[in-house]
Structure 1
Amino acid sequence: MGSLEKNQLQQLKTEFFDLLTNKYISLSLKELAYEMIKIVSSVCDIHEAAFILEHSTKTRRRAEASFGLEWEGSPSSSHVLDLIDSYEKTSLGPLQKESKEYKDSFLVPLIIHNERKGYLYIRKKSGESRTSSFLSRVGEECEHVFNFFYHYQQISTQETRYEQLYRVTTKFHSSMDMNDVLLEVISTLKEMYPTFEYHLLLSHDYGSHEYLPIKYLQYDGDNISGAAMESYVTGTVRMEGKMEEQYSVLYAPLNGKQGIYGILQVIAPDMTLLPKEEVKFITLLAHTAGGALENAQLYHQSKKLVEDLKLINETSHRLNSSLRLTDTISFMAKQICKSFRASEVGFVLFTDGTNDKRLAGSTTFFFTSAAQQYVEFVYRKMMKEKDSLFVNEASIHLEEDLLQFRSIMAVPMMQDGMIKGATIVLHEEPYFFSFDNFKLLQSLVHHSTLAFTNSMLREELEKLVVTDYLTKLYSRSYLDEQIQKSMEQDGFGTFILIDIDNFKKVNDTYGHQIGDQIIIQIARIIKTHVRENDIGARWGGEELAVYLPSVPLRSGVQIAKRLVEKVEEYTNPKTTISCGVSFWTRDMDDCVQKLFNRADEALYKAKHLGKNQVIAQGENVVS
């Protein structure tokens, strides 16, 4: 190497040093290569020069920077690529550093980070002498600059990666929203690798993901590759690629401590754009996201469990208070509709194989004929399987033409080990209720059955207290209370006192058992011919009574006359009654006992005047 070449080599080093210290931080690889090729061609007085770097795959090379050389589609580029092919065919290995001279051209391999990343191509001027050792040293100096640049870029990229990872991890730990976690993963990757394509292949539905590229893992799904499913099953990173389509795919599992929550799919547009460092970062990001997803899911599960326990506790507390049965059922129906977004909720008592009783407080659908097929279906299944019922597609079991609701949940109401009834929950859509909904409903009904039973027993007991055991009419004490309340609240009312004519003769002729049957028959006639808010009662012995709140005297007399007619027509053996009718208004100085006395006086007149008739207060005979 002559003194000129030594001087040029020294000058080359000096200008490369200035380039690195002043500009390299802000330069891209292409800009760095361009600045270097200018320095090489200027200092070394080269006719043509170029950096040919491998771009993604070994079949795709391009000149990152050139001097005096046209590249795209030119004969010169074909000539250079032919030289590279010739060099690699005779090369002893991928790390061979020996430069080669071809007539007036020279090829120097560039070993960057222990890999041959490309070549420095030099074409000498015609007739100019350049030693191989000098051109090799030029290549080495270029190689030093590229190595320094690649090293700096690697450190800078790694620093950026881990800054991103720290930021992402911090955000993960500050959010318990699974949607936010997934969105942050995709945003980070798009920021780091904007040319890549991403999908989240999830094993469960984590809610609404309007802006996320989500697919769901299915073992028989055509859109999920074997590599993706293998990554999910084994919990390890998998790669696949298609050379002819020039892309590669990485599958990184979203691992948590308790399971795998899905797969992060990364599609790179080239085959070699995913080196080990990139794979390591993406895998670490996926692992961090998996842990965050698990934490978010556990948080939501615990929150849901607390909400469920609060619902059960609130429901149990309300039901164990002194609610009437109808209020109990109504409260439960509202709770179930609210918690499960149910369309209809029914509470049914099974009386025998063909009959059932729909409890008041159920939603209106259960009091229509359309509900019958659902109740019968639930009854048959429960009696056969002795268990709760969870049906996501009712068309399998019921007639399609009559089918209105496709999702059914039903939980038996048990007492002493026997199925006494069921809570039935319906929705129009198939697969609407989750299994968690079903388990919560079972728990709710289990905690509520005792309250239902207590409410029914309480009402039965109250009914026994205010009801005459023989006639099932109200008791005398209940009648007294209701008349007193009416006198305080209403403007007027009518009272009918009824006595069975010749009742002693009935007992003497037919016996006391038939006498009781006569009383029962007359009680049924009274129930049939009075309003729901009227009060029929047993006054004592063979005497009965009816109180008609807010009914005037004339109407009360007509009702009494109708009772007299119906008793004579329908009793067997034929029996008649006599009625005394009294009346009160707020203008009168009156009380319950005075009302009774006036009715008793009228009844006495009716019996005295021939029986089987009606006498009102202040009258002798009513015609």
Structure 2
Amino acid sequence: MKVLEKQLIINLKSRFFDLIDTDSGLLSYEQFLQEMLFIVKGFIRADEVTLFNCNEWKHEWFVEASTNEKLKFDIEISPILCEEIRSIFSKVCVLHKPISLAGLENYDLVLQLRRGEQFHGYLAIKGITDCPCPDDLIVEVAKECSNFLHKAQVICNVVFEEKRYKQLFRVTEKFHSSMDMDAVLGEIIYTLKEVYPSFTYYLMLSQDNNSHGDLPIKDLEYDSENITAMQAYVTGTIQLEDSLLEKRSILYAPLKGKQGVYGVLQVIAPNTMTFPKNEVEFITLLANTAGSALENAQLYQQSRRLITDLQLINETSHRLNSNLRLTESINFMAGQIKESFGAEEIGFVLVSEDFEQLKVIKGSTEFFFADESEHYLHFIVERIKRERDSIFIGDLTIDCEPIRFRSLMAVPMVQTGLIIGFVVVLHHNPYRFTFETFKLLQALIHHSTLAFTNSMLREELERLVITDQLTKLHSRNYLNEKIHQSMKEDAYGAYILIDIDDFKKINDTYGHQVGDEVLVQVASILMDNIRDTDVAARWGGEELAIYLPKIQSDVALIIAERLVKKVREQTNPSVTISCGVSFWRKEYSNDTFTKLFKRADNALYIAKETGKNKVVVQENIDINE
């Protein structure tokens, strides 16, 4: 090479070197390439310099850069077979007037840019008809262009690697500053978008992922389409999957922590036969960092949830052991379960020892007092009777029955080894309850059963104290207490004193056992014909009494007459009753329980003396009596 030509090449190299200026911020490979083409254009005094490259998938040439800006947008480049032009350049260094190659026929020169095994494309030059440059100088220009592009790629890769690892450092800092699962997952996606804008990616999680907004998240499930993903999840190692048909390569990176694998990061690289090796290491580091962050966030959330669960159990146990009534306990528990679990229907059910009798406890939601609940309860009873264990079903199906509630949890109430009942929780959406929720419900019921049992025993004892053993009516003392309370709090009320006519004759004729049965029959008729707020009691012997709070005398008369009629018609052997009715009003401040009873007793005496089987009302209230 002549001295002048050597000097020209030195000048060209100097121009190229000037481009590599980190202070100018010119660190984009595309910018390097564009500036290089303009330098070459000026060096050889050409009209246009264009760099063509090959798409390995489509076997088509495309314009990678050009000094002619319109070329990229206005001129469609016809496809040229890769093998054909490669074959040509295996024999020549410079191709003059390539009129036989479609798409390159308008160019004067075509040069191959290659540095060893590294291929950079084909430099096509137009408008150098009078170019004084000999072929050996042109070849030297191509060589220096290849060297420059190699160095530019190295520099850009270094800058890109620095940027990526700064991103990795930033995301690591962000991961360690956040204990929120959604924030960690969102940061993974944000980093991938920044580093690989042309890639597609998904987070395939093994945990519930119903609350992560619009993040590209999939459930990690074992099926024919996810075999490679499952291999990455099970083995904890990077897996690669190349698809010639879909012209893409897929990387599966496990999101791995110290205690396990929490999912798989799926990264899809388009238009490539194999996943870029230089990207595998970075994605692996990102996935490992993300896996540790997910583990930390999950452990933190689990610890917070555990603390919340323990607080719930402690608060519930404390409240239930504060001598609440059974209904109050059930209402409190139902509220806790509804608030903590998002349940729609909550039932508390007692069962007999043989599971043949069920009783829904007051405080359960209204659904369990309706007919629709029967097939749910029957299903639960059969399962608990057979398996003697809790039930957790995410998508409930019951043969031949329309199912409104798909999520079901049922936990037996066990006392001293005996199942005394169960608690059932329902929601209409399938898979509404998590397994952690189920375990918490089990713990709640385990800690609450003793309190429920104590409440039931305490109330049963109270009932026995205030209840006549034979008739199951209230005791006389209880009746007296209720009347005294009503006369303090209410404006008026009525009192009915009842006597079974000729009861001694029943005993003498049929025996005392039949006499007791008659007493039970009459007591049952009384209970069936009064309100829940009314009080029926055994006054003594064959005398019974009813107190009707907030009832006027005319209504009390109707009730008493109805009782007389029903006792006569429904008892066997048939008996009759006589009733004495009295009432009180608040305006008579000197009225007392004793006077109220005395008036009813007088009315009953009149009824007995005037034919029995009737009602007499003591209407006159003498406040001085």
For the criterion TM > 0.5, the same-fold answer is yes
Mapped to 2, the partners of 1:355 and 1:450 lie a distance apart of 21
SS of the aligned residue for 1:394 comes to coil
Distance 1:615 1:79 in 2: 119
Residues in 2 aligned to 1:314 and 1:545: alpha-carbon distance in whole angstroms: 44
SS class of match (1:403): coil
Whether contact under 8 Å (1:24, 1:32) holds in the other structure is no
1:204 shift after superposition: 3.2
Return the offset for 1:21.
4.6
Alignment equivalent of 1:363, drawn from 362, 365, 369: 365
TM-score by length of 2: 0.82
Indicate the residue corresponding to 1:467 in structure 2.
Answer: 467
Q: Report deviation, 1:107.
A: 6.5
1:389 aligns with 2:364: no
Are the equivalent residues in 1 in contact too, given 2:120–2:146 (CA < 8 A)?
A: no
Moved more, 302-311 or 266-275: 266-275
Residues 549-591 of structure 1, C-alpha deviation per residue, up to 9 Å, x if partnerless?
2333344345445544554555555555444433322232211
Match of 2:103 in 1: none
Deviations 1:512-555 (A, max 9, x none): 44443343333233323433322221222333222222333344
Structure 2 residue aligned with 1:283: 284
Task: For 2:268 and 2:81, locate their aligned partners in 1 and report how far apart those are by CA, in whole Å.
Answer: 34
Residues 534 and 546 in structure 2, CA contact (< 8 A), matched pair in contact too: yes
**1:129 Cα offset (Å):** 8.5
Provide the C-alpha distance between the structure 2 equivalents of 1:63 and 1:446, rounded to a whole number of angstroms: 74
Deviations 1:272-311 (A, max 9, x none): 7854332211221122222222222223333333333333
C-alpha distance in 2 between matches for 1:471 and 1:129: 126
Show CA shifts across 1:477-525 (max 9, x none).
Answer: 1111111112112222222333445555555565544443343333233
Secondary structure of 1:582's match? Answer: strand
Letter in 2 for 1:451: A
Contact 1:110–1:117 (8 Å) recurs in 2: yes
Of 207, 220, 223, which residue of structure 2 is paired with 1:220?
223
How far has the Cα of 1:161 moved from its partner? Answer: 0.6
Q: Which moved more, 1:34-43 or 1:593-602?
A: 34-43
- Return the alpha-carbon distance in structure 1 between the equivalents of residues 243 and 453 of structure 2: 69
CA RMSD, aligned part only? 4.0
Paired amino acid for 2:350: L
Alignment of 1:202 onto 2:205? yes
For the residues of structure 2 that align with 1:251 and 1:216, how far apart are their CA atoms? Answer: 14
Match of 2:180 among 153, 162, 177: 177
Matched, 1:26 2:26: yes
Question: What CA distance in whole angstroms lies between the structure 1 residues aligned with 2:557 and 2:22?
Answer: 118
State the match for 1:521 in structure 2. 521
Q: Which residue of 2 aligns with 1:372?
A: 374
Residues 13-51 of structure 1: CA distance to partner in whole angstroms, max 9, x if unpaired? Answer: 443444445997426435434544554565578999876
Structure 2 alignment gaps of length 5 or more: 98-108, 621-625
Aligned mates of 1:566, 1:83 — CA distance in 2: 113
Q: Provide the C-alpha distance between the structure 2 equivalents of 1:604 and 1:47, rounded to a whole number of angstroms.
A: 134
CA distance in 2, matches of 1:382, 1:158: 61
Match of 1:149 in 2: 152
Residue by residue over 1:233-277, the C-alpha shift from the partner in whole angstroms, topping out at 9 and shown as x without a partner, is: 322223333456543322222222222233222222332785433
Please tell me whether the aligned partners of residues 8 and 44 of structure 1 are also in contact (alpha carbons under 8 angstroms). no
Q: Deviations over 1:577-623 (max 9, x none)?
A: 4444333222322111222233334444455556555444378xxxx
Letter in 2 for 1:111: R
- Identical aligned pairs, as a percentage? 50
Quick check: 2:389–2:412 contact (8 Å CA) kept in 1? yes
Further displaced range: 495-504 or 51-60? 51-60
Displacement after TM superposition at 1:162 (Å): 1.2
1:302-344: CA deviations, max 9, x gaps? 3333333333233222222232222222332333333333332
Q: Does 1:494 align with 2:512?
A: no
Shift of 1:466: 1.3
* Equivalent pair of 1:111/1:118 in contact (CA under 8 Å): no
1:105-144 to structure 2, matched below 5 A, reads 110-111=114-115, 115=118, 117=120, 141-144=144-147
1:597 corresponding residue in structure 2: 598
Distance change (3 Å), C-alpha of 1:49 and 1:24 = farther
- Tell me the equivalent position of 1:5: 5
TM-score scaled by structure 1? Answer: 0.82
Whichever residue aligns with residue 463 of structure 2, its letter is K
Q: CA deviation at 1:463?
A: 1.0
CA deviation map 1:369-396 (0-9, x unaligned): 222222222222221222222333433x
- In structure 1, give the amino acid aligned to 2:204: L
Tell me if structure 2 keeps the 8 A contact 1:50–1:120: yes
Instruction: Decide whether the 8 Å contact of 1:34 with 1:64 is kept in 2.
Output: no
Q: Which moved more, 1:140-149 or 1:251-260?
A: 140-149
Change (3 A) 1:131 1:377: closer
Q: Distance in 2 between matches of 1:22 and 1:309?
A: 59
Q: Secondary structure at the match of 1:194?
A: coil
CA displacement 1:146-186 (0-9 Å, x = unmatched): 34423321221111111111222222223333333222222
What residue is the counterpart of 1:193 in the other structure? Answer: 196
Whether the 8 Å CA contact 1:407–1:429 is kept in 2: the answer is yes
Q: Which residue in 2 is equivalent to 1:295?
A: 296
